[in-house]
Amino acid sequence: MKLAQSKTTLLVVGGSLGSKRMNELMAVHCDRITQMGVQIVWQCGSLIKKNFCQLQKNNVNSLHLLMI
């Protein structure tokens, strides 16, 4: 995954009931979080990952999506 050891890492995981809203909020605030020097490891399902691949391209060194 090539995480930077010098950065704070935010791990985002969710269950089926709350994950939709959490994923929406992460999509809105992802750029802001990474601009603060935080790298994100975001576990999401395959349908969500398709929608958020652009976010990963914009934050290539700070956002790591894990598809389950």
| 13-62 pLDDT tens trace | 876 667 888 888 888 898 899 999 999 998 877 766 666 777 777 777 78
pLDDT attached to residue 33: 92
Provide the residue ranges of all domains of the chain, joining segments of one domain with +.
8-67
- Return the higher-pLDDT residue of 67 and 32: 32
> Cβ neighbours of residue 6 under 8 Å, at least 6 residues apart?
none
pTM tops 0.85: no
For residue 57, count CB atoms less than 10 angstroms from its CB and return exposed for 0-12, middle for 13-18, buried for 19 or more.
Answer: exposed
